[in-house]
Amino acid sequence: MSVEALQGPEASRDGARHRRPAEGRIRREAVRAYDIRGVAGRDIDRGGAYALGLSCASAARAAGLSRVGVGRDGRLTSASLEQALVWGLMDGGLRVERIGLGPTPMLGFAVRELGLDGAIMVTASHNPPDENGFKILMGKERVHGERLRALVAMEGSRDRCGSARRAEVIEAYVDELARAATGMPPLKVAWDCGHGATAPVVRRLVERLPGEHRLLNASVDGRFPAHHPDPAVAANLSQLAGTVLAHGCDLGVAFDGDGDRLGVVDAEGRILWADQLLLLLARDLLAHSPGAAVVGDVKCSKVLFDGVESAGGRAAVSPSGYVLVRETMQREEAALAGELSGHIFFAEEWGGVDDALYAAIRTFLAVSRLGGLAAFRDSLPPSFATPELRLACPEDRKAEVVTEVAGRLEHEGAIFDPALGLRVERPDGWWLLRASGTEPKLTCRCEAVHPDGLERLRAELREQLRRSGVDAEV
């Protein structure tokens, strides 16, 4: 692991330093539940990135923290925002390790490997190409909710100038992933990087793995020309599924823009949704760790929770949101956790982070031990469910819609746990409605034991949305 001294141009740095107005340059609407995401140049600009760096530095110094890592994805605005962020962190007195372009989990690896006090990733994950943002780790905690809003709003102060240097961690990260793949059979795998930040890692990793590997969209391009980098949407997996079928692959894997969410298709080109994947990984885990706890978010199928229990594990339900799933995992002392959107968490042997590349490796190992992915999928009990549906809704309206629907249901005597979001149990099954924590959207899902029941649930959800002014096909 090598480091290279790095200094930014003083003229540009001074310009950024004096651009910060009192209220900052990150619009309030861009501060989401778990991170910062907005349109670059409108909601977030270089001045806002600098201001955020200065605020983070002040908060870090107050907590006795001094060294942070910074990484960026491949979006067209990420390099510029990363530079301004680093200047703010330096002006605030921190020592910055710049890992450069790569997936968010590689930055998490750098935190562990270099013993850093925190990290900031410049990324908007799976959001549209014109958006960007920041994910913040301070100490061992992801900054979110009220703490994140307060951090963005605070007035940072300059300290004696800190420093920044380049930290090359990609080779060490690939080494770690390759070690995790020890014992992997020679599978035939299709990999879809989606032109996202995983591409440089995947190109190196497949050279170290047994079997035959076919790469798709393995150049970084922040315009995402092939398809949107969101593996939770079926349309974004069609190219991968076609490749698996055309070349007789055992399975295919796909990643989101910053590499912390995984999508999977089997040898027949069928999507294995993340809750089904979580059950595969849980069965593999419970074969040698009986009684272990497994966490799934509230959008996950009942098949997952019943399957964990029948395999000898303890199932726990979490509210949706990758930060909340990880917190539930820690509270339940779970060995494995996941969210329907594709975040998969493993316990402390991998730092408890949602690393989609590591999850892919664990999937390959599980497939080899459990007799194939298609056979596993065929073994699941029948259920009828929608995928996770995302409905456009104004940022300032989405929480109100959920509150209105909850109020009507409570008046009608419906049973739901508000701590988990609006998951409504009916004789036919259940349906869920929640406000997205990362986008101006509502997310929903329905599941039933029979197709007719699914249609009744969908009709009920459509009617509730209509009564709150949301006309959408569910």
- Residues designated as active site: 125
Structure tokens at 356: 């989609």
Distance linking the first and last C-alpha atoms of the chain: 50
d(CA 298, CA 321): 10
Q: What angle do CA 377, 382, 383 make, to 5 degrees?
A: 110
Which value, in Å, is the radius of gyration of the alpha carbons in the chain? Answer: 22
Token pair for residue 254?
């796909």
Cα 168 to chain centroid, rounded: 23
* Whether the Cβ atoms of residue 252 and residue 193 lie closer than 8 Å to each other: no
Contact of 35 with 134, CB cutoff 8 Å: yes
Q: Which residues contact 372 (CB under 8 A, 6 or more apart)?
A: 250, 267
CA distances from residue 412 to 157, 196, 409, 415 in whole angstroms, order as listed = 53, 46, 5, 9
Nearest to 68 by CA among 83, 87, 47, 89: 89
CA dist., res. 197 & res. 220, Å (int): 6
Q: Quick count: other Cβ atoms within 10 Å of Cβ 114?
A: 17
Beta carbons of 448 and 386 less than 8 angstroms apart: no
Closest CA to 444 of 454, 453, 238, 303: 454
List own/partner pairs for 373-376 with CB under 8 A and 24 or more apart. 373/250, 373/251, 373/264, 373/266, 373/267, 373/272, 373/280, 374/266, 374/267, 374/268, 374/270, 376/280, 376/283
Q: Among candidates 467, 252, 269, 231, which has minimal Cα distance to 363?
A: 252
